[in-house]
Amino acid sequence: MIADRLAEYTKSLRYEDLPPAAVHEVKRRLLDSLGCAFGAWNAPPCRIARTLAQSVKLANGATLWGTSYKTVPDLATFANGALVRYLDFNDTYLSKEPAHPSDNIAAVLAVGEAAHASGQFVIQATVLAYEVQCRLCDATALRPRGWDHVTYGPFSSTLAAAKVMRLSKAETLQAVNLAGVANIALRQTRIGDLSMWKACAFSNAARNGVFAAMLAGQGMTGPSPIFEGEKGFMNLVSGPFDLPAFGGEYETQEERVPFKILGTYIKQYPVEYHAQTAVEAALSLREELLKSEGEQAFAAITDVDIGSYDVAIEIIGRDPEKWHPRTRETADHSFPYCVAVSLMDGTVTPRSFDKHRLADSALSSLIQKIRVIQQPEFVGRYPQAMPTRVTVRTQSGKEYVKQVDYPLGHPRNPMPDHEVEQKFLRLAAGHLDRARAKHLIDLIWQLERVKDISTLMPLLKRKGRGSG
């Protein structure tokens, strides 16, 4: 039974099993996620989630990042997870089903703080969450059946929470059953004109995973077999699948399975991951355009083609709303918008999706000149590569072409540690003073030496108003 195997793996995974590279990636993902969270502090869905969480106070609970307020761990998971996800800037994993595995980090830290877990336990739980979510994504796709990728989230988050809470194997098994029975999410979250819920879908899944672990820790049982049962997950949601070997498990007596966190991707730009290569290509073409066409370069554009592959087109290049985005959530999931704003602005930052930018008539005019075209030669290259070819044509008859296969942050083109630090510092600017930010960075690089993860939380308190 899959649930038994998940429970056994959760209990058996030890810090000593983790290679240094996996430990280091946890630190990079934690730093990256906290930066994303600070960058999203004032976003409407994040304010809503924070206000809701502040309605419940618990002295020995979990901190709402940026404040000194403590609440129950599941509500802290929801509020902090929304911060991590809102900008669409946190990490990604692409397989049969895509995922943002750092969405689990809010759950790990919330439960870890309440349990006074050590840095080593937080590292273990984070690697575990990545392992479970990514292996499920490798096993089978949910999207074609109408379910959202966050449906895998309650499993990964509840197991990470169970690890930090030191639940028994029997309790962990029940946590899996409880997480799976009531938390199936609709793919409508990512169709058409996207709403605030895009930022909250996984944080809600993680919240429910934490709640399942808390219930199991109190003796609650759940229906089983949750995956293979007559009305279980496989028959109603995913279809049958075999779960691949986990990191640290032996495929043969000689070779150990690598940990999935090593195959996940950090983002250079705050856009849906399939658009990363498109943005890089467009930014490169912009330099050529300006050099050749001069100040009238953008007015001289007659048409733009974005050559891509089926999965990317389905997610960010198909719906009519992608050519007329009215919300940030739709724009950062739009091939046409991301390429157009890259060409016009020469950069893509969180401000590229402000209301005034969405309403710009010149930008809108350029978007209408863009086509998204499936490239036959790209078939079969995804998810190992993410090829995007951007072609810009001008009134002078010139054609400018750029193709990018592996964006910065991809495992085949990794982002250096100093650039991860710089990303954090840019996003945290205005929220943390430089000295505190540097102290936080130094502490995260030494995470395995932290005796109690709760000592990290005061360093996350924002300066100024709204940090009480």
Cα–Cα dist 157/73, whole Å: 12
- Where are the domains positioned within the chain? 2-268+426-460, 273-404
What integer pLDDT is reported at residue 295 of this predicted model? 79
* Annotation: CATH topology of 273-404: 60s Ribosomal Protein L30; Chain: A; (3.30.1330)
What integer pLDDT is reported at residue 195 of this predicted model? 94
Q: What is the DSSP string of 117-181?
A: --HHHHHHHHHHHHHHHHHHHHH--SGGGTB-GGGGHHHHHHHHHHHHHT--HHHHHHHHHHHHH
What integer pLDDT is reported at residue 468 of this predicted model? 57
CB 160 within 8 A of CB 176: no
What integer pLDDT is reported at residue 257 of this predicted model? 79
* Annotation: CATH topology of 2-268+426-460: 2-methylcitrate dehydratase PrpD (1.10.4100)
Helices and strands (H, E) in the chain, number of each type: 18, 6
Q: Tell me the sheet residues that pair with 71.
A: 62
Closest by CA to 331, choosing from 193, 196, 203, is: 193
When computed from its CA atoms, the radius of gyration of the chain, rounded to whole angstroms, is 22
CB 154 within 8 A of CB 204: no
| Chunked mean pLDDT (size 10), the chain, 468 residues | 97 95 98 98 97 97 97 98 97 95 98 98 98 97 96 98 98 98 96 93 98 98 98 97 86 69 96 96 94 87 96 94 94 97 96 95 96 95 94 94 96 96 97 95 98 97 72
Cα–Cα dist 456/84, whole Å: 17
What integer pLDDT is reported at residue 249 of this predicted model? 72
SS3 254: coil
CA dihedral 241, 246, 249, 251 (to 10 degrees): 50
